[in-house]
Amino acid sequence: MKRTPQINKTWLMAGVAAVVVLGGAGLYAMTRSPAEAPAAEGEAGHSEEEGEHAEGEEAGGEEGVVLLTSAQITAANIAIVAVTGGGGGETRLSGRVEPMVDAKAAVAASVGGRVERVLVAPGQSVRAGQSLAILVSGDAATLRADAAAAAASSDAARRAYERDRNLEEAGVVARQEVETSRAQSLSSEAAARAARARVSAAGSPNASGRLSVTSPISGVVTSVQVGPGGFAAQGGVIAEVTNPARVEIVFNAPPALAAQVRAGSSVRVQGPAGEFDAVVTGVAAGAGGEGGGTIIRARPSGGGLPPAGSAVSGTVVTGGDAVSGLTVPSDAIQTVEGASVVFVRTAEGFRAVPVLAGRQAGDRTEILSGLTGSERIAGANAFLLKAELAKGEAEHGH
C-alpha cells in the first residue's frame, strides 16, 4: 500500500506566517511616502538625502524668485502691468477704438477733371505718395501753361537786367534804368514761383493736364468714391485711406469729468481680448456733440489695441479723497507665508516683493510701501506665480 507523507503542522503554520509578513511588507512599500527611508539604510541613506536636499536648494536659486521665460509667461496669460498713481474714486466710461486724427485721410481732387483711371480698390494697402487715380483736367492744363509762361517771362526779365547792368558798367545806360530792369526781373521771378506753386498744389499735371491723385499717408484704402469715366469736382473725395496701426481709445464722458481728469491719468480698459492699462493723452471739454459732453483720448501703456471700431469700457480714477499714491490691480497682491507680496518682473522671470497694502477703490489697491512706482508687475493670473513659488518650496523641503 502507498503511504501518504505526513505534513508537519508546525512547518505549515510557519510558512503561512511568512507569506503574510512578506505581503504586508510589499503593500507598505507601495503606499509609503517616497521621502521615508528604510531604517536599514542607516547613515548612508541620511547622507544621500542631505546631498539631494543641498542640490535642490542650489538649483532653486534665490528665495522668492520664479524663473519663467517670456514664452511661458505668455502661455500662462500672466498680464504684465505698470505700477500707477492713484487719485480718488472711480468712474466707468464707455468708448471705442478709433483711428488717430493723422491716421485717416479723405483724399480729394485739387482740381476738377475727368477720371481716366482708378488704380486702387477698397482693402488694398498703399504707401504715402502712391497714386490712387489718374485725372485729366482742363484747369490743370491751364495752370501748367501759365507756369510755363511765367517762367519764360522771368527768364527774359533776368536777361534784360543782366544786359542793362553790363551796359551801365560801359557807361551806355543810366543807373536808374538798371534799377528798373532789376525790379522787373524780381517781379517776374516771384510770379514764376507762384505759378509753379499752383501747379504743385494741383498735383503737378503735365502739359496735357493729366495728373495723379496720391495718398498723403500709408495705410489701407477703406472706400473709393469715383469710377473710370466719371467726373471729379474740385474738392470731391476720390478715396479714403486709414492707417490701422495708428489707433487710440476715445471715451465719451460727462461734462463734469473734464475738470477731474487730466493728461497722464491712468485708465483701466476692458476690451474684447481682456483688460489692459492705458494713459490719458487728452481731455476735450464740450467736444461731445450737442450734449456738451467731454471727450477723453487714451493710449495703451504697453502693447497694442483692438482693431478700430471695437467697443471698450474703461475705469478712470477721479477725485482726491479715496485711494492716492501708488496703486496696483487688486489681483496682483498675493499672500505668501502670511505677508502681502507682488511679483515684480525681472529679466529671468518674477521676484516676490513684500508690500504694505492700503485702501482699495474698485479693482485697484493702494501700495503704502515696498514699491517705487517704476516697476512692472504681474497683474491678472498672478496667483499662478504664487502656486509655482509654493511648489518650488515644497520640492526643496524634501
Please give, one letter per residue, the 3-state secondary structure of the chain. CCCCCCCCHHHHHHHHHHHHHHHHHHHHHHHCCCCCCCHHHHHHHHHHHHHHHHHHHHHHCCCCEEECCHHHHHHCCCCEEECEECCEEEEEEEEEEEECHHHEEEEECCCCEEEEEECCCCCCEECCCCEEEEEECHHHHHHHHHHHHHHHHHHHHHHHHHHHHHHHHCCCCCHHHHHHHHHHHHHHHHHHHHHHHHHHHCCCCCCCCEEEEECCCCEEEEEECCCCCCEECCCCEEEEEECCCCEEEEEEECHHHHHCCCCCCEEEEEECCEEEEEEEEEEECCCCHHHCCEEEEEEECCCCCCCCCCEEEEEEEEEEEEECCEEEEHHHCEEECCEEEEEEECCCEEEEEECEEEEEECCEEEEEECCCCCCEEECCCCHHHHHHHHHHHHHHHC
Looking at residue 291, what is its pLDDT? 58
For 248, list phi and psi in degrees, rounded to 5. -150, 170
Joined together, the cell numbers standing for residue 82 give: 505698470
- Answer whether residue 205 shows pLDDT above 80: yes
Higher-confidence position of 219 and 14: 219
User: What length is written for the chain?
Assistant: 398
Quick one: pLDDT band at residue 184, thresholds 50, 70, 90?
very high
Sequence ranges of the domains in the chain: 65-84+326-397, 87-100+246-323, 102-137+209-245, 147-196
Quick one: pLDDT band at residue 305, thresholds 50, 70, 90?
confident
Residue (of 146, 96, 114, 153) closest to 288 by Cα position = 96
- Answer whether residue 201 shows pLDDT above 80: yes
On average, the pLDDT of the chain sits at 80
CA distances from 77 to 7, 271, 295, 384, 385 (A): 73, 15, 32, 10, 11
Quick one: pLDDT band at residue 18, thresholds 50, 70, 90?
very low
Higher-confidence position of 246 and 291: 246
CA distance 232 to 313: 41
Looking at residue 292, what is its pLDDT? 64
Q: Mean pLDDT throughout 163-172?
A: 90
Contact (Cβ atoms closer than 8 angstroms) between residue 165 and residue 178: yes
**Per residue in 323-378, pLDDT tens?**
456 888 888 999 988 899 999 999 999 999 999 988 776 677 888 889 988 888 99
| Rounded percentage of the chain residues whose pLDDT exceeds 70 | 77
Residue (of 144, 143, 138) closest to 231 by Cα position = 138
- Answer whether residue 127 shows pLDDT above 80: yes
**Per residue in 283-304, pLDDT tens?**
888 765 555 688 899 988 877 7
**Equal fold, 65-84+326-397 vs 87-100+246-323:** no
CA distance 92 to 90: 7
Q: Dihedral angle at the C-alpha atoms of 372, 378, 383, 387, nearest 10 degrees?
A: -90
Residue (of 308, 257, 260) closest to 287 by Cα position = 257
Looking at residue 90, what is its pLDDT? 67
Looking at residue 8, what is its pLDDT? 42
Higher-confidence position of 312 and 319: 312
**Per residue in 248-273, pLDDT tens?**
999 988 887 777 788 888 888 888 88
| Most confident segment among 60-74, 187-201, 379-393 | 187-201
CATH fold for the domain made of 87-100+246-323: Elongation Factor Tu (Ef-tu); domain 3 (2.40.30)
Q: Mean pLDDT throughout 300-324?
A: 73
Looking at residue 30, what is its pLDDT? 33
Contact (Cβ atoms closer than 8 angstroms) between residue 371 and residue 355: yes
- Answer whether residue 9 shows pLDDT above 50: no
Higher-confidence position of 296 and 29: 296
| Rounded percentage of the chain residues whose pLDDT exceeds 90 | 41
Residue type, 109: A
Q: Mean pLDDT throughout 95-106?
A: 89
Quick one: pLDDT band at residue 223, thresholds 50, 70, 90?
very high
**Lowest-confidence region among 66-80, 232-246, 319-333:** 319-333
Pick the CATH number of 102-137+209-245 from 2.40.50.100, 3.30.230.10, 3.40.50.300, 2.40.30.10: 2.40.50.100
Looking at residue 57, what is its pLDDT? 41
- Answer whether residue 4 shows pLDDT above 90: no
CA distances from 340 to 128, 331, 367 (A): 53, 11, 10
- Answer whether residue 317 shows pLDDT above 80: no
Looking at residue 61, what is its pLDDT? 54
The architecture that CATH gives domain 65-84+326-397 is Beta Barrel (2.40)
Q: Mean pLDDT throughout 73-85?
A: 86
Tell the burial category of 273 from Cβ atoms under 10 Å away from its Cβ (0-12, 13-18, 19+).
exposed
Q: How many CB atoms lie within 10 A of CB 128?
A: 13
pTM: 0.51
- Answer whether residue 125 shows pLDDT above 70: yes
